[in-house]
Amino acid sequence: MTRFTTPIAEQIWSMKYRYVTGDGGDASVEDTWRRVARALAAVEAEPDVWEERFYAALEDFKFLPAGRITAGAGTGRKVTLFNCFVMGTIPDDMGGIFDNLREAALTMQQGGGIGYDFSTIRPRGAVVKGVSADASGPLSFMDVWDAMCRTIMSAGSRRGAMMATMRCDHPDIEDFIGVKSDAARLRMFNLSVLVTDAFMEAVKADGPWDLQFDGRVYRTVQARDLWNRIMQATYDYAEPGVIFIDRINQANNLNYVENISATNPCGEQPLPPYGACLLGSVNLARLVIDPFGNRARLDAAALKDLVRTAVRMMDNVVDVSQFPLSAQAGEARAKRRIGLGVTGLADALLMLGLRYGSDKAARQTEIWMHKIAVAAYLASVDLAREKGAFPLFDAEHFLASGAMREMDETVREAIAKHGIRNALLTSVAPTGTISLYAGNVSSGIEPVFAYSYTRKVLQKDGSRTEEEVVDYAVQMWREMFGDAPLPDHFVNAQTLAPEDHVKMQAAAQKWVDSSISKTINCPADISFEAFKNVYMQAYETGCKGCTTYRPNDVTGSVLSVGEAEDKVPGETPDQARGDFPAEGGEVVYMSDPLDRPTELEGATYKLKWPDSNHAIYVTVNDIVLGGHRRPFEVFINSKNMEHYAWTVALTRMISAVFRRGGDVSFVVEELKAVFDPRGGAWMNGKYIPSILAAIGGVLERHMVQIGFLEGEGLGLKADPTAQVVGLEGAPRGPACPACGSYDMRMIEGCMTCASCGHSKCSG
């Protein structure tokens, strides 16, 4: 017997969350739950008692800690269990800027996604005193961060993710707004504009708006013109997002000791300098009683108990986790903020007969989120009575914050009397991978995106198997009612009006003390005025931020335009359209690396970098699968000891990627895009931006020679200049760099492959 409802869920567990050692490790998902429960109970006075309670919460995917906790807790690995970090304030001097770059690299090396506010760097053209030069501006330094992020593989073979914010009154804000029009620039960043209440009032009044830095006004623009530029950029290529920063700071429980100007990569965690937050989700879909029945309801008692246990588990993570930087550890332990959220909301609503986006569904969402908030806060009060309040707790100021003024009086009285263990407790984070691992429940508070789709799974022998992945609620309906048509209240992200998305986000936000990661899907033909109204609705209804996705020529269409052949019984063609990957899109999943034969064929290439005293030799060995030759491993050698550490690291990382199978040409693209701030070199009539880019060129040449790539610059999976046309001539945008399918879509604030789950965002 297995706890997994689908083979793909078990494969995800095996690849991402299973702990494997030479003498065993996790033989089953029950072993994983036991490992995590034991690790988090170790700090308790009665660890055996709490281990059993924690295990019961994890069992059958009822509580889903974020992936870093599930993969890392109890393993002894040097990784952080925290998902979210905002780095320190960037000083406006060269030394401080590069000190911050180093801290970012160390954080991403341990698996953390990071956020930065670049508003503190003087604008382009400003005078730099003492060096007789003009400043290059914050965007030039963002390019350096972007290059660093390309080079670092974060823990678990997942690339780092970054969020960059800039205030709406910074003199370089217009350049920041338009930077993503260049599809090759700042691809490792999500971008958001910090929008103030004063700016929004100026927009409404069509008034003037000063762009200023360090007390100096550089120029004045019309607020509405600047707002329209933000909206046009987002309409055209899905970025930047908008963060209502004054609202965040006013509502923050900790506004008496911190000021927030940045968020984590997906936006659900506004954090102060060196702020860190861990994440976890209650699976609402697992708590429904009598699904689709006349008395369908959420088990309120079970929800309360689960929330209370989850809060204790997450509070313990603060004590057992490692941190990349001591400043992050100090910040986390001084405030002990956690981010408990939900997943499976849309499925739970479907089981109750409620249409996602309806007034009834929004009201039910608000009720559930209220229950979760109250249970979480009271659980934290109990922990404060037992273990003490968070060190920076001040009852008078804490209870006077914007969010706490709205809290139930019983909770306020309990906090005033006993204190509270955690400064902030609730957040709604992206849950794409853990939701699939839990049986393909709907993600976070998002609507169901696809009722069903097909995944192709690469096996060790090179063959591929195909399997259908069905939404959790849809699968339950099938099991209960067979081929009966889906009821009218079954809706998905593509059939919802944008206003319904905003309504659901606002309903949940009322009882979430941090923020929410959610994407508001807009049709390609939405008018620009209607699109702008979405953002104004988000502001007026109390949201803390807004992220939309409209199919466009830069990021592509999120929909396949052909009718799916294997649609869910009862679906109309309109319902089926858009729910399946485009024809030819493939998912490549592997639970184990390819085995190495005793002998391999390969080639060695000599690379002489102009500024180096010694040549670098790159050896690429190949394996034959299904009659086709493909790269399997790489060795990089040089007599120059300056290169030793990073060449060994690069060798191991690239070889590990190659041995996982699938289309690995993205490695070439990533290496070729790395530039050295010290400058590149001319080689064979071409400018090569870095020695890493030169190595990427060698790998590309080898792949062309063995027939893995058609030619130089052809077939790369993330070619920013590629214009790929889908069915009926619709632009499909860039391919997924992991599996090659043209099914990248904006999910919970991050471009994510619906085929294989690849995402640049951490979580």
Q: Categorise residue 424: left if φ over 0, alpha if ψ from -120 to 50, beta otherwise.
A: beta
| Low-confidence winner among 105-119, 409-423, 603-617, 732-746 (lowest mean pLDDT) | 732-746
In order of 85, 169, 220, 228, 230, the CA distances from 123 in angstroms are 25, 11, 15, 22, 19
pLDDT digits (tens, 9 = 90+) for 253-278: 999 999 999 999 899 999 999 999 89
- Dihedral in degrees, nearest 10, Cα atoms 138, 196, 107, 673: -40
What pLDDT is attached to residue 651?
Answer: 85
Indicate whether 527 pLDDT > 60: yes
Contact present, 629 and 613 (Cβ < 8 Å): no
Active-site positions read 264, 266, 268
The position carrying tokens 């308790």 is 44
What pLDDT is attached to residue 1?
Answer: 58
Indicate whether 586 pLDDT > 80: no
pLDDT digits (tens, 9 = 90+) for 409-420: 999 999 999 999
DSSP notation for 547-585: -EE--BTTTB-SS--SPPTTPPTT--HHHHTTSSPPTT-
Sign of torsion over alpha carbons 314, 320, 322, 327? positive
Determine the length of the chain.
763
The two tokens of residue 711 are 């030619």
pLDDT digits (tens, 9 = 90+) for 182-233: 877 888 899 999 999 999 999 999 999 999 999 999 999 999 999 999 999 9
Predicted confidence band of residue 706 (pLDDT cuts 50, 70, 90): confident
Task: Name, in order, each residue with C-beta under 8 angstroms of 140's C-beta and a sequence gap of 6 or more.
Answer: 124
Q: Which of 27-36, 628-637, 663-672, 681-690 has the highest mean pLDDT?
A: 27-36
The two tokens of residue 62 are 């009822």
Contact present, 316 and 379 (Cβ < 8 Å): no
What pLDDT is attached to residue 718?
Answer: 40
CB neighbours of residue 12 within 10 Å: 22
Indicate whether 515 pLDDT > 70: yes
pLDDT digits (tens, 9 = 90+) for 333-368: 999 999 999 999 999 999 999 999 999 999 999 999
DSSP notation for 266-287: TSS-EE-TT-EEEEEEEEGGGG
Contact present, 377 and 407 (Cβ < 8 Å): yes
In order of 492, 523, 578, 753, the CA distances from 496 in angstroms are 7, 9, 13, 21
d(CA 199, CA 209): 7
What pLDDT is attached to residue 277?
Answer: 86
d(CA 219, CA 211): 6
Q: pTM here?
A: 0.78
What pLDDT is attached to residue 741?
Answer: 56
d(CA 62, CA 66): 13
Predicted confidence band of residue 719 (pLDDT cuts 50, 70, 90): very low
CA–centroid distance for 492 within its chain: 21
d(CA 112, CA 735): 25
What pLDDT is attached to residue 368?
Answer: 98
Contact present, 149 and 162 (Cβ < 8 Å): yes
Indicate whether 761 pLDDT > 50: yes
Indicate whether 284 pLDDT > 90: yes
User: Considering the chain, what is the average pLDDT of its residues?
Assistant: 85
Greater confidence, 569 or 4?
4
